[in-house]
């Protein structure tokens, strides 16, 4: 998006690449020199996959995780090299494209493996794959009982190169390690059976952000789940998977979301605000209309429940959040004026609104809020390490 287009509408997501680098350093500290597979699926959780991947690659990250072949293609077209692991698996009619782009597929289905092997045979080169084991997520992956035989069968396919064995924790964000311990035991049993069958797979990985940030006692209780590589996602972007996770880890929010007061309306007592008249003023009020709504990713669930910051003070959301507009009451904000910045996520002066707070108010999780910030919201990339320069827009 060009600066001229962005200037027509002040609602903007600001992406702090310095904070991203800081969070990567925290991952590396906690991962103790293990490989980092940086998760940049879903447009890097709403932060912009290409700019984020470029910034991480400049810091020496050589492995990235996406969900879709289309996401992998976007990285390749942007010049991102190294491993791009497609976590969502292989859609059989995309097998040839996976090989052509040099992506690494996640395999959890024999038919998908056959299609990829055939595509690689036609291309005349082996396709790297990671094999997923379902140790308790109930989603994708070979079952622990079937996995050893499945891996042996995969190893016999001449044009597949088995590079990784992986699983995914169902509840690493919980303080109780009991279920994660069961998952680790199942994963370790599969890895040992595969080894005994004579199949060598160089990399094992399981740890998401919650597991990376878990306390040493949690890791000890389940047997240390970091293996050879870790897969941080949310923590790279400065948010926490749950309130009990990583309390002592120094993360910095990468994204802030701001807009500006479009218009101010002074209204008498008894004035209904927005659809359904769910809010009616009890006093003479100053209502600010903000050009942001649920089409931009600001949840409708925050109707009459959210807040934004104006001139360093909290202003409550009043009435229903609309598709393109949100109303807030700035009666108690001295000097509030049209054009004032309104912070939806982020800091203003000494006050701050975190993405976790927004998520809690909407009855959801930080992942959904970040991923939900729509493409019509311009991203502005900032890099404090470059003398505070604006690193561009998208």
Residue 72 falls within a domain, yes or no? yes
Say whether both 296 and 220 belong to one domain.
Answer: no
Residue 138 falls within a domain, yes or no? yes
Say whether both 148 and 201 belong to one domain.
Answer: yes
Taking alpha carbons only, the member of 25, 31, 29, 34 closest to residue 55 is: 25
Say whether both 187 and 259 belong to one domain.
Answer: no
For the segment 73-114, what is each residue's pLDDT rounded down to a tens digit?
Answer: 999 999 999 999 999 988 889 999 999 999 999 999 999 999
Say whether both 107 and 164 belong to one domain.
Answer: yes
CATH number at residue 269: 2.40.37.10
Catalytic residue, candidates 41, 237, 294, 367: 41
Neighbours of 25 (CB within 10 A): 12
Distance CA 1, CA 325 (A): 21
Average pLDDT, the chain: 94
CATH number at residue 77: 3.20.20.10
Kindly list the distances between the CA atom of residue 191 and the CA atoms of 112, 147, 186, 188, 329, in Å, as whole numbers in the listed order: 21, 9, 9, 5, 58
Domain end marker among 192, 209, 237: 237
- Is there a contact between 117 and 136 (Cβ–Cβ < 8 Å)? no
Distance CA 229, CA 59 (A): 17
What confidence tier does 388 reach under pLDDT thresholds 50, 70, 90? very low
Whether the predicted pLDDT of 27 surpasses 90: yes
Residue 23 falls within a domain, yes or no? no
Number of domains in the chain: 2
Say whether both 126 and 211 belong to one domain.
Answer: yes
Neighbours of 215 (CB within 10 A): 15
Catalytic residue, candidates 45, 179, 227, 275: 275
For the segment 218-246, what is each residue's pLDDT rounded down to a tens digit?
Answer: 888 887 778 999 999 999 999 999 887 88
Residues spanned by the domain of 45: 34-237
Residues with Cβ within 8 Å of 386's Cβ and at least 6 positions away in sequence, in order, are none
What confidence tier does 3 reach under pLDDT thresholds 50, 70, 90? very low
Domain end marker among 202, 237, 272: 237
Say whether both 232 and 271 belong to one domain.
Answer: no
Kindly list the distances between the CA atom of residue 346 and the CA atoms of 184, 253, 254, 320, in Å, as whole numbers in the listed order: 37, 8, 9, 22
What confidence score (pLDDT) does residue 92 get? 85
Kindly list the distances between the CA atom of residue 159 and the CA atoms of 116, 202, 335, in Å, as whole numbers in the listed order: 8, 17, 68
What confidence score (pLDDT) does residue 234 get? 97
Q: What are phi and psi of 177, to 5 degrees?
A: -85, 5
- Is there a contact between 17 and 253 (Cβ–Cβ < 8 Å)? no
Q: Is 41 a catalytic residue?
A: yes
Neighbours of 195 (CB within 10 A): 12
Whether the predicted pLDDT of 216 surpasses 90: no
Say whether both 226 and 326 belong to one domain.
Answer: no
Q: Is 367 a catalytic residue?
A: no
Taking alpha carbons only, the member of 76, 75, 78, 101 closest to residue 90 is: 101
* CA Rg value for the chain: 24
Give the DSSP per-residue string, 56-125: HHHTT--EEEESSHHHHHHHHHTT--SEEEETT---GGGHHHHHHHT-EEEE--HHHHHHHHHHHHHHTS
Say whether both 51 and 143 belong to one domain.
Answer: yes
Residue 244 falls within a domain, yes or no? no
For the segment 29-44, what is each residue's pLDDT rounded down to a tens digit?
Answer: 999 989 999 999 999 9
Domain end marker among 208, 237, 266: 237
Distance CA 371, CA 297 (A): 8
Whether the predicted pLDDT of 6 surpasses 60: no
Say whether both 220 and 349 belong to one domain.
Answer: no
């Amino acid at each position: 998006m060009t600066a001229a287009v962005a200037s027509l509408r002040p609602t903007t997501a600001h992406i702090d690449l310095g904070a991203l680098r800081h969070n990567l350093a925290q991952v590396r500290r906690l991962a103790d020199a293990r490989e980092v597979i940086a998760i940049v699926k879903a447009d890097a959780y709403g932060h912009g996959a290409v700019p984020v991947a470029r910034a991480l690659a400049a810091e020496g990250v050589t492995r990235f995780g996406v969900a879709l072949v289309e996401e992998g293609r976007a990285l390749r077209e942007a010049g991102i090299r190294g491993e791009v692991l497609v976590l969502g698996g292989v859609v059989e009619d995309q097998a040839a494209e996976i090989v052509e782009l040099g992506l690494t597929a996640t395999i959890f289905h024999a038919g998908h493996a056959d299609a990829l092997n055939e595509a690689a045979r036609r291309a005349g080169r082996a396709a790297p794959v990671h094999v997923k084991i379902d140790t308790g997520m109930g989603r994708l992956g070979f079952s622990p009982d079937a996995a050893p035989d499945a891996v042996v069968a995969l190893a016999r396919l001449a044009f597949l190169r088995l590079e990784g064995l992986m699983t995914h924790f169902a509840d690493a964000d919980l303080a109780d390690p009991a279920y994660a311990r069961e998952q680790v035991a199942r994963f370790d049993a599969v890895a040992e059976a595969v080894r005994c069958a004579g199949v060598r797979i160089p990399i094992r990985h399981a740890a998401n952000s919650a597991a990376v940030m878990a306390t040493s006692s949690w890791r000890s209780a389940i047997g240390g789940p970091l293996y050879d590589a870790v897969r941080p996602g949310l923590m790279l972007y400065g948010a926490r998977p749950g309130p009990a996770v990583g309390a002592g880890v120094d993360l910095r929010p990468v994204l802030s979301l701001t807009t500006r007061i479009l218009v101010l309306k002074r209204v008498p007592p008894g004035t209904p605000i927005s659809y359904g008249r769910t809010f009616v003023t009890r006093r003479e009020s100053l209502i600010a209309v903000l050009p942001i709504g649920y089409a931009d990713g600001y949840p409708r669930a925050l109707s009459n429940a959210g807040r934004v910051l104006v001139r360093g003070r909290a202003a409550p959301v009043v009435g229903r959040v609309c598709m393109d507009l949100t109303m807030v009451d700035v009666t108690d904000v001295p000097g509030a004026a049209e054009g004032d910045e309104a912070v939806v996520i982020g800091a203003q002066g000494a006050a701050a609104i975190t993405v976790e707070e927004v998520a809690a108010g909407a009855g959801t999780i930080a992942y959904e809020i970040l991923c939900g910030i729509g493409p019509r919201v311009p991203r502005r990339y900032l890099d404090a390490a470059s003398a505070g320069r604006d690193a561009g827009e998208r």
